[in-house]
Amino acid sequence: MNIVLASTSTLFGGNYLEYLENEIRSLFAGCEEIIFIPFARPGGISHDDYTQKVAEFFGKLGIRVKGLHTFEGMVEALNSAQGYFTGGGNTFLLVKMLHELKLMDVLKMNIETGKPYLGCSAGSNIGGLNMKTTNDMPIVYPPTFDCMALVPFNINPHYLDPSPHLKHNGETRETRIKEFLTQNETKVVGLREGNWIRRNGNSITVQGSEMTRIFENGKEPYEIEPGTTL
Amino acid sequence: MNIVLASTSTLFGGNYLEYLENEIRSLFAGCEEIIFIPFARPGGISHDDYTQKVAEFFGKLGIRVKGLHTFEGMVEALNSAQGYFTGGGNTFLLVKMLHELKLMDVLKMNIETGKPYLGCSAGSNIGGLNMKTTNDMPIVYPPTFDCMALVPFNINPHYLDPSPHLKHNGETRETRIKEFLTQNETKVVGLREGNWIRRNGNSITVQGSEMTRIFENGKEPYEIEPGTTL
């Protein structure tokens, strides 16, 4: 497999996908056209406009982008595509649409044959075993939380350290992930903004500018450096 | 109906339920014993210990507390009870357990006959139409997101204003609730810590020390003062 699962599409103060440009060039080397999956977006920007924003970035790399929503036969479109990018938004909405349109398994099977896949945020969540470690609000009810299992763990994108100054009693991100581990055996990768997971064949590493926090059952959470195998 | 749905159990720097003491005395006036529902708690503290913590507070008011988990026949226990308190934790876990144990509707029917109900955080979420505006992580998959509809809207407990200083690209609470409104017609009450909803018969008001932020389809979010009818 040939995959990038990024914590976020955009770094604070940066431009869309900018910090990932080198990795994206390498991921999609040889591709002339990819399919963009805009279904996570619940509003604020239309699927067309979202696709246009992606097309502008990929245009600089000489790669054309088509929105999956523009195809009448979406299964065939996925099967014919050279590569894929799923953008961020709301993971519940994304997972509901991919399952209801019977696209989740089609996408998974194509990626497992080696076609390149880029996910950001919600698009990275669906690369994990399931979406039970998303940060998103459950604005719709998906038929299942299961995802593509492109990596043998779950991802928590936009991982955020506890803020010592906040006078608020909502749970911290670390508390939430520890709650997940009381109900599940699955390893969770807390992916800070600036980091991404790179799968190349059977090699799975974490890349980027930040340390990555790992949560496993029966262990204290621990930090790993960029380049570490997962 | 006779209900208090609070944003949080504990204010920053305060003791458990302390800021709600007067309202709780009024809510449970005449009750000698209530049932505590500890099922939201995913770990960190056992159901027994959680119930003990609640019993210590209610002991000062002269009210005994029994944990629902200690009854063999939970439906009968709910039907025989004088009043109820559901504590905070993870809303997905709470909703899953209440539905799987066939208790959600039993609890609702008893409350609709006038038995007093106190909810905090996750326990307040289940008083709304559904749990689609919880802040919690989806650590388990409930059979439905539907809740008790004790009030004709949804609640967002621990409502938090955007932090202008945070260099992070995760969605703000306001963005999340606006995303909910792209997919649902339901009104959302953003309940800041320090506030609660009081239903007394057909009167539904917001109470507490803070302004409350209301989100409705097709309107800009707006603020209402303590005492305002919802």
Task: Give the model's pLDDT for residue B69.
Answer: 98
Q: Which residue has the higher pLDDT, A45 or B155?
A: B155
Q: Residue A165 — very low, low, confident or very high, per pLDDT cuts 50/70/90?
A: low
For the beta sheet containing B33-37, the strands, ordered from the edge strand earlier in sequence to the opposite edge, are B64-67, B33-37, B84-86, B117-120, B2-6, B195-200, B203-208
Kindly indicate whether the ipTM for this predicted assembly is greater than 0.85, answering yes or no.
Answer: yes
Task: Give the model's pLDDT for residue B168.
Answer: 61
pLDDT digits 0-9 by tens, B176-187: 999 999 999 999
Beta carbons within 8 Å of B11's beta carbon, 6+ residues apart: A169, B18, B19, B193, B194
Task: Give the model's pLDDT for residue A70.
Answer: 98
The residue of chain B nearest to residue A173, with distances taken between CA atoms, is B137
Q: Residue A171 — very low, low, confident or very high, per pLDDT cuts 50/70/90?
A: confident
Catalytic residues of B: 121, 136, 158
* Domains observed in chain B: 2-224 (3.40.50.880)
The Cα–Cα gap between B106 and B128 comes to 16
Question: In terms of Cα–Cα distance, which of B120, B116, B113, B124 is closest to B148?
Answer: B124
Look at A193 and B169 and tell me if their CB atoms are within 8 Å. Answer: yes
Candidates A169, A180, A184; nearest CB to B8:
A169
pLDDT (average), residues A161-180: 80
The residue of chain B nearest to residue A169, with distances taken between CA atoms, is B12
pLDDT digits 0-9 by tens, B120-143: 999 999 999 999 999 999 999 999
**A78: pLDDT strictly greater than 90:** yes
Question: In terms of Cα–Cα distance, which of B166, B58, B153, B216 is closest to A193?
Answer: B166
Q: Do the Cβ atoms of B9 and B121 come closer than 8 Å?
A: yes
Tell me the backbone φ, ψ of residue B138, rounded to 5 degrees. -80, 65
Residue indicated by tokens 């006959």? B113
Low-confidence ranges of chain B (pLDDT < 70): 164-170
**A15: pLDDT strictly greater than 70:** yes
